[in-house]
Amino acid sequence: MRIFVSAPSASMLALIKSRNSSLSVRWLGLLLACLGMAEARQVLPVFLSDNHAETAGWITRNFDLDAPHTLVLVDAHSDASAVERSEEMREAMRRVPSEEERARRVENWRMTGRLQAFNWIEPLMPRPLDKVVWMAAPSLESGEFALKTREAAESLDGRLEVEPRSSGSFASRWETKDLLGFHEWQPGGRQIILAIDLDWFAAMAPADRERHFSAIWERAMDWPGLAGVAFSVSRPWLTDDAEADALVSLVIDVVRHTRGAHLELDASVDDRPDDSLKAAESDTEVTRWDFAKASPVLRMKLQSLGKRLSITDRNRNWSVSPWREEAGTARLVPADGEIDCDHVWRYPRGKEPILRVDAPADATGRTRWHLLEPVRDAYDLLPETGLGKAFSASPARWIYEKPRQVAETQDFQLDPATWSRESGGRFLIGAECETPRGWIPAPAIEIRVRTADGFRGSLSECGGMPYVFGIAGVSETDLGGVEAGWGSDCANLLISAWRRHGIGLPWGDPGILRDWLEAIAEDVGVSDHVEISQGQIARGIAIDFGKHVAAVWEDVKPQGILGGNDLVMHHLGGKPEIVALETLAATRPVFTVRMPRSEESCVMKFAGDVVLAEGERTVIGGFERGHADGFVVNLEGIPSMRKPVGKPRYDFRFPPERLDWLKSRGVDAVSLANNHAADAGGEGIIEGIAALRKAGIACFGAGANEVEACRPLRIERKGVQMAIFGVSYFPEGIADSDSAGVAGLPAHRAILEREFRQALELGERIIVIVHGGDEYDARVNDEQHRWARWLVAWGASFIVGAHPHVIQREENYGGAVILHSLGNAVYPSRISSVASGAIRTLDVGRPVPVLRQAGSAR
């Protein structure tokens, strides 16, 4: 998983300035400051190993050794023993030519027994560990706090007389607490590393350990400065492997349910020297934990982390993929509907589906269902700025979505009445099914339920989301902002709704949003009788209060006039809510009414597969340019009769003379990026391109080499500059550096990135005609979704698909319009499904700002 906050590129800043010179320096400075501070802070690194001696190495690899951190230690033991010649180790950690050399030195200390589980803390003090807060037990008597602190301090300073430290005694840097003190402790702005030894939970009843574990995790997620978490199994101190397995399972669960958490698993079986008291007391070799022998349930949980899991092992090569085949998988599937590009299932209220679990063959049918719900209502991803507290008194730092069981069924099914609500909104639903091997988890899916249509419907599907200050800067793989699913805030709630309707506004704050809207009434109040219409409400009306913004939800009587009784939806410091306008205006009496800019219409017409290979053809209705400003289709085949080297499955070569008919229908341009462009071979592609040019029809998506194939068609209509690309998802006929062919993904990813970047810098609207999907299948496949997300991330505003020969669904994602497949437009009459096509007109002149970082979600 890649989660980051990126600073604006030079082209982004140029676009900001050119779009509106009145964008204040204050807002721009705030944006830059927030982006810069947030960079690389949206990943919560979590480390899991056999014992805390490995934690020392993890800290040296991941944290600034000269920056002060507070270590919060949850451990049955203090691990405070002093290390011989530790001053030498501190120096050796810092005076290294490379990170690799530092790691090598730490590993050498581990192999020689110099650094062990009972003495790993002292060499890291006083930097990077400036202070240690030790939670020694769930509860301590009043006299035990001072006793345990004194014992730990004496251990830390045990060699001080014979080996003086430049930093002196560490006694004042140690503090002891129990669970109550842990919850009451206020870290302030300190940078914190949390280290949890699972032996703290040894021999607890299952209910107690789960309760304590959850409470510790929830509290830690609130800390503004939490920079990382390290767990150690400490198998010698646990009752048995089953207890170890259960505790590690709790670790995996909280990682799965915490946004931005990434687990680094050191799966090595520890074979280094062990001079601990436990080893000295044992007559046999100390028992170690082997992750390769994890239970089936734990294996399923580990592999469900996907890219959020990385595994290292000194002695073995690791992969969790075989576990999926061994144990089988469980997954949640709605009974109807299709998943969207942003991995969300969407339904109108009243049409929510029955949920089913596709379970392993040995599952009994018994299924436990749960909703994942944020523990807090407000979060601050930018605590360094101090700005988040202006919107919520005590926002949490990391978003932990805690499972809440809502039902247990016996047939793998869940009725929507169990989990949905009248107000709709966002739902994260997971399950686990019973098998003889234990409860196998089915990863959660995201469902959004809308209670209205249009812009208001997209607002309503964000109900239940937490308030997240800094959400504009979040990018998780190829999803960004509210689309990443972490939460929303006042401005981005509205932006997400507009993006769902094909208006590609950038993520931002009220100041940035203001730059992309036009005022329809400035500096007004609830008694100024501003006229509004139902059409405007459907398109989206923003009430701009300055530092806050809301959207008109309902025009209450008297209708047609914006008044205090009208309902607005806003998001500030909690969950999104609908309130009367006068409620917000009570403390913000003056506001401006805004809407997305209206721009001159430029209508382009698009059609799907056009096959001219046979004389008897079926042509769908409306296949002509008409009054559109341009007409673009996918030409399935090549105007060349050159014999191919091999015989294609279907031969879609055709005489160039048939292009006259295509021209007569008003076709301006065709994409050749498909699996039949090479039916006449590479030389046939060259001939076909020449024939198209002679016929007065522009073409794109193919060329004499890969660079030409990836070059877009550049046209202008009504002042709108367009760059139209053709891209195939199939391997047939792909161009290379010195042979003709078509543009394709993933083969030409790097070239297309460069071309897209150039188009963005030129201010062009990017349109991509894609060729992919499964033939005669109306469902959009994973590959289509994956590459659609990639294309939008790189700036595509319109994606038009062909190849399945049937019509597939349309969707708006990231401010882009995606027509996954328009089916057949012109096709040989003898082939089935010839009439399953559609003609679509798109207004490419609508506002599509290009304020985005190329290569990251907009």
pLDDT tens figures, 786-833: 999 999 999 999 999 999 999 999 999 999 999 999 999 999 887 755
Residue 36 has pLDDT above 60, yes or no: no
Here the tokens at position 148 are 């345990």
Q: What pLDDT band is residue 460 in, cutting at 50, 70 and 90?
A: very high
Residue 5 scores a pLDDT above 70? no
Give tens-digit pLDDT for 594-639: 999 877 789 999 999 999 998 788 999 999 999 999 999 999 999 9
Nearest 5°: the CA angle 341, 346, 348 is 150
Q: Is 424 left (phi over 0), alpha (psi -120 to 50) or beta?
A: left
What is the Cα–Cα distance from 279 to 697, expressed in whole angstroms? 81
For the chain, give every domain's residue range.
3-36+474-596, 42-314, 331-451, 603-843
What is the C-alpha to C-alpha distance for residues 638 and 752, in angstroms, rounded to an integer?
A: 23
Q: What is the pLDDT of residues 637-686, one digit of tens each?
A: 999 999 877 776 778 999 999 999 999 999 999 999 999 999 999 999 99
Instruction: Give φ, ψ of 831 to 5 degrees.
Output: -90, 140
Q: Does residue 386 contact residue 340 with C-beta atoms inside 8 Å?
A: no
What's the pLDDT score for residue 693? 97
Express as a percent the part of the chain with pLDDT over 70: 92
Please tell me the predicted confidence (pLDDT) of residue 590. Answer: 98
Please provide the CATH number assigned to the domain covering 42-314: 3.40.800
Quick: pLDDT tens for 10-29.
333 333 333 333 333 333 33
- Could you please report the per-residue DSSP string of 202-237? TT--HHHHHHHHHHHHHHHHH-TTEEEEEEE--GGG
Name the 3-class secondary structure at 8. Answer: coil
Could you read off the pLDDT of 161-177 as tens digits, one per residue? 999 999 999 999 999 99
Cα 841–chain centre separation = 31
630 close to 715: Cβ distance less than 8 angstroms = yes
Q: Read out DSSP for 635-698?
A: E-SBS--PPPSS--SS--B--GGGHHHHHHTT--EEE--STTTTTTHHHHHHHHHHHHHHTT-E
pLDDT at 52 over 80: yes
Which residues is 134 bridged to in the sheet?
73, 176
What does the pLDDT look like over 363-403, one tens digit per residue?
999 999 999 999 999 999 999 888 887 777 788 999 999 99
380 within 8 A of 396, measured Cβ to Cβ: yes
Strands lying side by side in the sheet with 765-771: 713-717, 720-728, 765-771, 796-802, 816-819, 810-813
- Rounded CA-CA distance 74/97 in Å is 34
Cα 740 from chain centre: 37
List the CATH code of the domain at 331-451: 2.60.40
Q: Which residues contact 196 (CB under 8 A, 6 or more apart)?
A: 74, 75, 216, 229, 230, 231, 232
For residue 19, the number of C-alpha atoms closer than 13 Å in the C-beta half-sphere is 24
Q: Write out the E strands in 389-514.
A: 401-409, 413-414, 425-435, 438-450, 467-469, 475-476, 479-480
Helices (H), 743-805: 749-761, 782-793
Distance of alpha carbon 221 from its chain centroid, rounded? 19
CATH of segment(s) 603-843: 3.60.21
C-alpha radius of gyration, the chain, whole number: 31
- Of the candidates 50, 112, 52, 58, the residue with the CA atom closest to the CA atom of residue 77: 52
Residues 93-118: pLDDT tens digits? 999 999 999 999 999 999 999 999 99
Spatial CB neighbours of 287, under 8 Å, sequence gap ≥ 6: 235, 236
The one-character DSSP state at 329 is -
The CATH number fitting domain 3-36+474-596, selected from 1.10.357, 3.30.70, 3.90.1150, 3.90.1720: 3.90.1720
**What was the pLDDT predicted at 731?**
93
pLDDT of residue 324: 64
pLDDT single digits (tens) 474-533: 988 778 899 999 999 999 999 999 999 888 899 999 999 999 999 999 999 999 999 999
pLDDT of residue 2: 31
**DSSP secondary-structure letter at 253?**
H
pLDDT given at position 314: 85
The residues that bridge with 414 in the sheet, in sequence order, are 355
The reported pTM is 0.90
Residue 404 backbone phi and psi in degrees, to 5:
-125, 115
Map 540-607 to HEC letters: CCEEECCCCEEEEEECCCCCCEECCCCEEEECCCCCCEEEEHHHHHCCCCCEEEEEECCCCCCEEEEE
Amino acid at 795: G
- pLDDT score at 33: 38
